[in-house]
Amino acid sequence: MPSPPPQSPPPQTAPGRPGRITLADFRAAARELLPAAAFDYLEGGAADERTVRWNAEAYERLALLPRVLAGLPGVDMRCTLYGTELSSPVLLAPTAAHGLFHPEAEAATVRGAAAAGALTTVSTFSTLTLEEIGAAATGPWWFQLYVQRDRALTEDLVHRARAAGARACVVTVDTPVTGLRERDLRNGFALPSHGAPVNLAGAAAGSGPDAAAPANPGIHDPRIDPAVGWSDLEWLRTVSGLPVLAKGIVRPDDARRAAEAGIGVWMSNHGGRNLDTAVAPLTTLPAVAEAVAGRVPVLIDGGVRRGTDVVKALALGADAVAIGRPYVWGLAADGAEGVRATLRALHRETELALTLLGAPNPASLTPDLVGPAWRSPQ
């Protein structure tokens, strides 16, 4: 028998302007609206951008194995992270310089995320102050930290973030130096004034009492400390009074060490923007989840473009999934409403995928629902 025709979504759940149905639609809109150099800054990765491609291909190489006749009356998409209940297990990863993509910058981002019931992770390199972002936020947000050479500045950033309303501190651990971003080099790209990191104003020289000169000034940022170690994460948890997550883990041994210290695990390769040919996080997710063994949350980003990608990551052991470039496409296309619409589109796709898999909620997703796409399941 032919399958029934797809039903139109109710008006209150429509994901955005007519014609913008998928994340790819928002990407097309952003590409049309943004200057070419700004779009390249957003889209670009390191060197040959192999890791950027691998991140998405890792999801394409997996197939779903749905259960039937599950008798589901409905699906509950809610997720709880560090005591905060969210409408779905999808949150916003930190991305820099939102002023480059929309005049309202991070204020639009946090408003759009809150309207979708999602959590925002605010970058150290935001173009609004932490206080401005906190005032605009009507939903939960976390603060992403690059540990500065000046530890007094680092501590001040964390205290400001907490005072402004941040509920966790996400420490980027995969960026002792930034990657070889050849698109930006070819474009001669530099952040304009409306994309400048205002929270680091006056810190460019790294002149604080704890600052040290970079060992190789040719590749090192004068602000970001390349010598961050595990003890710094313990220190940050003490001085911040917040949950701390390490963003940039892809190895099971690193994940185990983080879990043993009570540090949350955020799997990432920085969207392919740092070390080209670094592994796609999804490929090591099962081993990382096994190493963590439920002691701390496991988050993952990189290459998520569909709701089916979300359920694959959750089935393989992630507690939540983060998107980066896609919500910035929405921001560029339509400000806060674009951010909300991208999240709603992904929410709808994820809800559909859960229903068709026979899974009543994200926690019910299990590894047996996922298999390799290049051979038939036995």
> What distances in angstroms separate CA 138 from CA 14, 105, 116, 117, 339, one per listed residue?
22, 15, 11, 10, 14
| Residue that the structure tokens 């080209």 belong to | 276
User: Rg (Cα) of the chain, in Å, rounded?
Assistant: 20
Alpha-carbon separation of residue 300 from 245, 313, 367 (angstroms): 12, 8, 16
The CB-based long-range contact list for 119-123 (8 Å cut-off, 24+ gap) reads 119/81, 119/84, 119/86, 119/91, 119/92, 120/91, 120/92, 121/91, 121/92, 121/93, 121/94, 121/170, 121/322, 122/94, 122/161, 122/166, 123/94, 123/95, 123/96, 123/97
Q: List the catalytic residue out of 98, 102, 220, 270.
A: 270
Q: Helices in the chain by DSSP H: which ranges?
A: 23-33, 36-43, 50-60, 105-115, 130-136, 151-164, 182-187, 230-240, 252-260, 281-292, 307-315, 325-357
Query: Residue 58 and residue 72: Cα distance in Å, rounded?
Result: 29
Is 347 an annotated catalytic residue? no
Q: What letter does residue 54 receive in the DSSP assignment?
A: H
Q: Which residues are known catalytic residues?
A: 270
